[in-house]
Amino acid sequence: MLLKEIEAFLEEDVGHEDYEEIVPEAECKAEIEVKEGGVLAGLDEVKQIFNYLGVLCATEFEDGARIKEGDVILRVQGAGMKILKAERLVLNFLGRMSGIATLTDRFVREARRANARIRVAGTRKTTPGFRKYEKKAIAIGGGDPHRFGLYEAVIIKDNYIKLMGLENAIKKAKEKVSFTRKIEVEVESIEDALKAAELDVDIIMFDNMSAKDVKAGVQLLEEHGFHTRTGT
């Protein structure tokens, strides 16, 4: 976590509020107790925030731990005003990241009941300014963070296909993009999935298709020898 990020988060939440006028500079202790079980995430960031403010932290837990109601995941000691200054920010980090990690873990376990090879991946539909933390939470929950931005891979989405056509869009991407970058294609039919595989794309994403159609699409691709090039 970058120093400038901590400062920006505190500025957003606290601004220039002078806690010294409200809370005395008294030493105090506090603890964070779990209200609902799940997978813990965000603890590293929380410790960094408290450390930045000069608050001491002690914990027996680490990110990725399975936690239950009543667990005390962090104990802190320091100036009361500093602890209160960080309170909402650290709870937001823990709540948001642990929620994502817990839900991801649930998805992964459920999916792997059907197929042990399945990988659950995140998207770019993240909270602006918080992507790296939400992606980290996905990884902590056992998922694949997938790409962090457009710069990591080429994805040919439905609107590109409507504008250029599937075959032309893939050919253009192969002409313009370095061989070191993967090309991923969104398809909405089994026919397009097979066509994309024949054009040698790296990843096929079945978009807005039923589980039944996705299963049929994967089976068809495997029959054609494209089992290592399919994705759901």
> What value does the mean pLDDT take over residues 209-230?
79
- Say which range, 9-23, 38-52, 105-119, has the weakest mean pLDDT: 9-23
Band of residue 209 on the pLDDT scale cut at 50, 70, 90:
confident
Task: Catalytic residue, from 35, 68, 125, 176: name it.
Answer: 125
Per-residue model confidence (pLDDT) at position 41: 98
Q: Give the architecture (CATH level 2) of 3-114.
A: Alpha-Beta Complex (3.90)
Per-residue model confidence (pLDDT) at position 224: 79
pTM: 0.80
Q: How far is it, in rounded angstroms, from Cα 104 to Cα 101?
A: 5
Per-residue model confidence (pLDDT) at position 68: 98
Q: What is the mean pLDDT of the chain?
A: 89
Q: Give CATH for domain 153-229.
A: 3.20.20.70
Digit-coded pLDDT (tens) for 90-144: 999 999 999 999 999 999 999 899 888 888 888 888 889 999 999 999 999 999 9
> What value does the mean pLDDT take over residues 56-71?
98
Whether 215 sits among the annotated catalytic residues: the reply is: no
Domain with CATH 3.20.20.70 in the chain: 153-229
